[in-house]
Chain A
Amino acid sequence: MTRSQESFRPRDFLLFGMTTVAVFALCVCVGSVSIPLKDTARLIWNSIWGLPVPEGISNSIILSVRLPRVICVALVGASLSICGGAMQGLLKNPLADGSTLGVSSGASLGAVIAIAFNITIPSLPFAGTMVMAILFAFISLMLILSLAYRLDYSLSTNTIILIGVIYSMFVSATMSLVITFAQDKLKHITFWTMGSLQGSSYENALVLLGALILFGGVILSRARELNAFAIGEDNARHIGVNVKGVKLTILITVSALIGVCVSIGGTIAFVGLVTPHMVRMIVGPNHRRLLPASIFAGAIFLMLADLLARILFNPLELPIGVVTSFIGSFVFVIIFYRSRQVQ
C-alpha cells in the first residue's frame, strides 16, 4: 500500500518497453525491399559500435531511409498519443483528441499559411512552418474550447464532436481561401496537406525527440492533476488543483506537441484517440500509468500502421493517415456507442 502502486512500475516499463523494441525491430527489418535479417542486424550492430559498415544499397535503405523513418513514426505516435491521453483527461471526454477537435487541421492551416505567404525564420528553414503550426494549434484549441464552453459547460460528447466537425469545415474553407491568394504555391500546398513521413531524417527525429521529452515531460508531471480533471473539474478545484493554471499548461504543451508533429508528418488522424482508449482498457484510467503506457502504445500503434502503409500494396505506399483513419473510425464508433450507454 504505497504510492508506487498507483504509478507506472518497473515491471510495466519493462513490458511496454520490450514490446516497443520488438515492434521497432520488426519495422526496421520488414519493408518494401526485403533485406536479409542477418544483413540488417550486422548493419545496425556495426553502425552502433562505429565499425566499418558495408557499402551498398541495403546500407542506404536501412540506415538512411528505414531507420530514421521508423524512429520518426514512433516519436510522432508517442507524442500524438500522450496528447490524446492528456486531452481526454482534461476534458473528461474519451473522444477528445487533436483530430476530433480539429486542432490538427488548425495546425496544418498554420503551416499552409506559412508556405503560402513565405513566412520563414532566417537560417532555420523549417522553423517557419513549425512555429506557425504550433501557434495555430494553440489558437484553434482556445477557439474550440471557448466556443464549446459557451455552448455547453459540461462539454458533452455531442458538443465535442459537433464543434470538431464545424471547426474542421471552417479550417478547410479558410485553407481554400488561402490557396486562392497563393495560386503559385498551389501544388506545394496540395502535396503538403496530404502529409507524409517519407523522407524523414535524423534531424526530424531529433526535433521530435526534443519536443517529446520537453512537452511530454510537462504533461507527465501533471498526471495527478489530470486524474482530478478526469474525475471532474469541480472536484479538481475542491482538492486544491490550480484549475486555470493546469488547464493552460496542458493546452499549451498539447498544442506545441501537435504542432511539431503536424509540421513534420502532416495530420495523422485518430492516433491520439485509439491508443489511450486501448491502454485504458489495460492499465486503467489513472494518468500516472495511462500516460507513460500511452507513449509506448502510441509508438507501437503508429509503427505498425506505418508498416502496413509501406508493405500492403508494395511498391505503392499508402498514406499513413489512411491506415490510422481506417482503424480509428471503428474505434471512434465503439467509444461513442459506449459513452452513450453510460449516459
Chain B
Amino acid sequence: MPILEVKNLTVRYGNLTVVDNISFSLEQGSWLMIIGPNGAGKSTIAKAITQGVNYTGQVLWEGMDIKQMKPTEIAKRIGVLTQSHLMGYSFTVEEVVRLGRYSYAPSIFSPKDDQDVERVEDALEKTGLIELRNQSVLTLSGGELQRTFLAQIFAQDPLLLLLDEPTNHLDLLYQKQVLSLIQDWIRTTGRSVISVVHDLSLAKIYGTDALLINKGRQVAAGEIEKVLTRENLHTVYAMDVNDWMCSLLSQWQD
C-alpha cells in the first residue's frame, strides 16, 4: 500500500484552475519529483498536501483522508522545506530547530517528550549547526538558514519530506550540501521525499519517481525513466530538452 495517495486533486483560485485533476501515489522509500515549467502548479500541489490551500479531491495517508487528521498528526507524518524564509525576529538557531518538536507536545500541559533533547541535538549535529546554535537567525547566510530549517525538519522527524524548491536561491556548494543531507536521511531511515523542482538534471540524479505537469494538468506520472521521455518533455517544454541538456553538459567535459 502506498503511504501517500493523491486522487483527482483540483485547486481553484476564483475562476482560475491552478491544479486540474491530478492523481499520483507514493511508495515508502521513494523520491518523487514534481516537474514542470514555471506556473505549472507544482508548489500548489505541495501546498494542498499540507492543507495550505482549499482543494477538491482527496489526499490519503495510508488510506486515511488527511483532511480528517489533526495538524499535529499531519506534522508527525509530513515535513515541509520551502525555498525562502523571510525572518523578522532574531530567534536563535536552536529555538527554530526546537520548534520542530512542537507536534509531539503541542500543549503546555502535555507531558515532556523524552526524545526532545536528543532529537534536537541530533538534528543540529547532522546539519553542522552545533556551533551556530545560539546565533540569531537574522545573521545567518542563506545556506545556514536553509540548514536551520532542514534541522527543524530532522527534529520534527516526519515520514515524508516535502521539498518546495529548497535549493533555488542557494550557492552550488550549499545546494549540494542540502541535497546530500536529504539523501543520507532517506537512505538511513527509509523515509520518502516529494520534491518540487525545475532543474531537470537534479531531478534525474536524485529522483526515483516523477510527476510531470503542465498548466495545472498531469502529463505523466510513475517511474522517473518512464516519465522523462523525449516525447513527454517535448510536449511540456515545446523543445528538445535532451539535446539541450546534452549540449549544456558537454561544455563541462575536460
Binding site for B on A (CB under 8 A): 1-3, 6, 92-94, 221, 223-225, 227-228, 230-232, 234-235, 237-243, 280, 284-286, 339, 342
Which bracket fits the contact residues of B?
Answer: 35 or more
Closest 6 CB pairs of A and B: A240-B75, A240-B103, A285-B89, A240-B72, A238-B80, A242-B71
Give the residues from 132 to 171 in chain B that come closer than 8 angstroms, CB to CB, to chain A: 138, 149, 152, 156
A234 CA to B98 CA, complexed, in Å = 16
CB pair A239 B103 closer than 8 Å: yes
Interface pair A234/B96, CB less than 8 Å apart: no
Are A241 and B71 in contact, with the CB atoms below 8 A? Answer: yes
The number of residue pairs between A and B whose CB atoms lie closer than 8 Å in the complex comes to 88
Q: Shortest beta-carbon distance, B16 to chain A, in Å?
A: 16
Q: Does B235 contact A (CB under 8 A)?
A: no
Contacting pair B80 A92 (CB below 8 A): no
> What would be 5 A-B contacts, judged by CB atoms less than 8 Å apart?
A3-B117, A228-B99, A239-B75, A240-B70, A240-B106
Does B90 interact with chain A (Cβ within 8 Å)? yes
Chain A interface, >50% SS class:
helix
Cα–Cα distance between A227 and B156 once the two chains are bound (Å): 16
> Chain B residues in contact with chain A, CB under 8 A?
50-52, 70-76, 79-80, 82, 85-92, 95-96, 98-100, 102-103, 106-108, 112, 116-117, 121, 138, 149, 152, 156
CB B84 to nearest CB in A, in angstroms, measures 10
Closest A residue to B87 by CB, please name it.
Answer: A231
Of B79, B95, B107, chain A has the most CB atoms within 10 Å of the CB of: B95
Residues of B with C-beta under 8 A to A240: 70-76, 102-103, 106, 156
Q: Are A231 and B96 in contact (CB under 8 A)?
A: yes
B90 engages A234 (CB within 8 Å): no
Instruction: Please tell me if the beta carbons of A237 and B71 are within 8 angstroms of each other in the complex.
Output: yes
**Interface contact A230-B88, CB-CB below 8 Å:** yes
Q: Which residue of A lies closest to B80 (CB)?
A: A238
Q: Do A239 and B87 contact each other (CB < 8 Å), given the known contacts A3-B116, A227-B95?
A: no
Inter-chain contact A237/B50, CB cutoff 8 Å: yes
- Is B91 a contact partner of A231 (Cβ separation < 8 A)? yes
**With the chains together, A280 CA to B86 CA distance in Å?**
19
C-alpha spacing A234/B43, complex, angstroms: 13
Q: Please report the C-alpha to C-alpha distance between residue A101 and residue B121 in the assembled complex, in whole angstroms.
A: 40
Nearest CB of chain A from residue B109's CB, rounded to whole Å = 8
**Is B138 a contact of A342 with CB atoms below 8 Å?**
yes
Most buried by B among A92, A227, A280: A227
Q: Tell me the bound Cα distance from A285 to B96 in angstroms.
A: 11
CB neighbours of A228 from chain B (8 A): 99, 102
The answer, among A2, A239, A242, A280, for a CB contact under 8 Å with B99, is A239
